[in-house]
Amino acid sequence: MIILGIETSCDETAAAVVDDEGVIRGELVLSQIEAHRPFGGVVPEIAARNHVAHLDRLIVETMDEAGATFPELDCVAATAGPGLIGGLLVGVMTAKAIAAVHALPFLAINHLEAHALVPRMLAPIAFPYLVLLISGGHCQLLIANGVGSYSRLGTTIDDAVGEAFDKTAKMLGLDYPGGPAIEAAACGGDPARFKLPRPLINRAGADFSFSGLKTAVRHTIHRLPDAPTATDAKDIAAAFQIAVGDVLCNRTANAMQMFSERTGKMTGNLVVAGGVAANQYLGDRLKQTASDAGFQVVVPPPALCTDNAAMIAWAGIERRRAGFSGDPLDTIALARWPLDPVSARPGAKA
């Protein structure tokens, strides 16, 4: 079985051809970072226009690299949500067109499910497992019970953690995207010089909140006599990163307990996915928290943690294997599409 996957939900235009043994036969990811850098964040309109400009060529080149022709595909899978609607429409319409022309099944993939399932492309990780999804658009903890079956334990009540990294970096005059810039700046910074809050820490449940932390960073910067110096930026970045680490570890510790209560399993795998999972400091903290609770952390390699199309194709493989034949061609893209049992699949009536 080989599947073409298409990802256009945010600022990466990506295509990949993956087989059912988890081999990536061809893959291209075009980052739009340069297009959004002047704005310090993703501009939805610019993102959608870039997807339109590049997706067709990217798919042709990916198919060439894979040495595959469209009729040889088992099906075409595209991210149908959640994400920026303009970009989602570009990917979904392109996938539907290929599927219609070549009489192939079309699969509408949930981007969150793709992040959650991709570690299984590399190793036989058995269900159920716990997923911490930390990216620019999402911050949630869920149990992956099986393909198409997820229980959300907690989510952010305001900003995503990656967004907090990006906004903090912008306030400090650091580069975009903010995550890697903050991580680099925090190295050698004094985390004790500034006090920052840890929203929701030690509260029951596994929800997150980051807007108060972001506001506290803004106030800290405003209290400085001048614009932040390089040393100020390093110290604030260090304080911010530790605060995020404390919050993520505290919420994840609660989620591991909830996982054990719900599944009866006292140990398990904690999959950490999304762009923020590339952060070495946070990864080390989470490993420690997990091992204290008898859990093992699984972090996919960075190229599979950040947005990519191999994970979309792989989610397609998993869905086909689980018996899903395909989605109708009048399936719509959804900007909001929560990943839990009560959320409906996107469909004609959605």
Give me the residues that bind ligand KG4 (CB under 6 A), please: 10, 135-137, 162, 165-166, 177-180, 183, 274-276, 278-279, 306-307
Out of Zn ion, ligand KG4, none, which partner does residue 327 contact, by CB within 5 to 8 A per kind?
none
Smallest distance from Zn ion to CB 15, Å: 16
Nearer to ligand KG4, 81 or 177 (CB): 177
Considering the complex, state which of residue 156 and residue 250 has its C-beta at the smaller distance from Zn ion: 156
Q: Cis peptide before 199, with omega less than 30 degrees from 0?
A: no
Q: How far is the CB of 22 from Zn ion (least distance, A)?
A: 19
The smaller minimum CB distance to ligand KG4, of residues 254 and 279, is found at 279
Name the phi and psi angles at 81, rounded to 5.
Answer: 150, 170
Q: State the Cα angle at 138 between 15 and 331, rounded to 5°.
A: 55
Q: How far is the CB of 51 from ligand KG4 (least distance, A)?
A: 14
Q: Residue 159, interface with Zn ion (CB under 5 A)? A: no
Work out what residue 179 binds among ligand KG4, Zn ion, none; the CB cut-off runs from 5 to 8 Å by kind: ligand KG4
Beta carbons within 8 Å of 29's beta carbon, 6+ residues apart: 12, 13, 14, 303, 307, 308, 309
Residue 177 binds: one of ligand KG4, Zn ion, none (C-beta under 5 to 8 A by kind): ligand KG4
CA dihedral 224, 36, 166, 10 (to 10 degrees): 160
307 near Zn ion, judged by CB under 5 A: yes
Q: Where are the alpha helices (DSSP H) in 31-160?
A: 33-36, 44-66, 85-102, 111-117, 119-122
Cβ contacts of 224 within 8 Å, gap of 6 or more = 232
Given the complex with Zn ion, which of 219 and 336 has the nearer CB atom?
336
Kindly tell me which of 232 and 307 has the beta carbon lying closer to Zn ion. Answer: 307
Answer with the entry of Zn ion, ligand KG4, none that 338 interacts with (C-beta below 5 to 8 A by kind). Answer: none
* Nearer to ligand KG4 among residue 63 and residue 164 (C-beta): 164
To Zn ion, the closest distance from the beta carbon of 240 in angstroms equals: 22
* Cα distance between residue 92 and residue 201, in whole Å: 39
- Integer Rg of the chain from CA: 20
* Crossing angle between the packed helical segments 211-222 and 161-171, to the nearest 10 degrees: 10
Sheet holding 12-19, edge to edge: 24-31, 12-19, 2-7, 75-81, 106-110
Q: Which position among 50, 62, 79, 135 is part of the footprint of Zn ion (CB under 5 A)?
A: 135
Residue 182 in contact with residue 135, Cβ under 8 Å? no
CB of 125 to ligand KG4, least distance (A): 19
Please give the residue ranges that form the binding site for Zn ion (CB under 5 A): 135, 307
